Structure 1
Amino acid sequence: MTDSISLKAHNTFGLEHSCRALFIAKTTPELSTFCQQLYLSNQPMLILGGGSNIVLCDDFAGTVVVVETKGIELRTTESDYCLAVEAGEDWHELVCYCLDKGIAGFENLALIPGKVGAAPIQNIGAYGIEFKDICEWVEYLDLASGERIRLSVEQCEFGYRDSAFKRQLSGKALITRVGFKVPKVWLPRLDYGPLKALKGPNVTPKAVFDCICATRMEKLPDPAVVGNAGSFFKNPIIENEQFQTLVARYPNIVGYPHGRRHTKVAAGWLIEAAGLKGFQVGGAAVHDKQALVLINKDNASSDDVLGLARHIVDCIFKEFGITLEHEPRMIATTGERSL
Structure 2
Amino acid sequence: MTRHPHRAEAPEGPAVNSTVIPFDPDTSSALPGRLGHHAVPERWQTVDRSAHAPHLVAVGDGDGGKWTGAALVTARPHTAYLKIVDAVGDVPAAVAAVVAHARGQGLAQVKWEGWSVSSEDAATVGFAPLRPPLTPLEEATGPAAGYVRWLHDDVATAPPYYGQTTHFTCGAVTALVAQAHAGTLSSEALDRETELTLWRDATNFLACEPVGLGVAVRRAWPASPVTIHLDADGPVLLDHHPEEDREWRAVLQRASRKQAGELGVPIDVSRLSMTAIRGALDRREHVLLLLSLAGMQGFDVPHWVLCHGAVPGAVVIDDPWANASTGDTWVDAHLLPVPDASLDSMAAVSADGFRGAVTIGRPPRGGAALADPVEQG
Higher percent of residues as helix: 2
Higher percent of residues as strand: 1
When the two structures are superposed, what TM-score results if normalisation uses the length of structure 1? 0.28
When the two structures are superposed, what TM-score results if normalisation uses the length of structure 2? 0.26
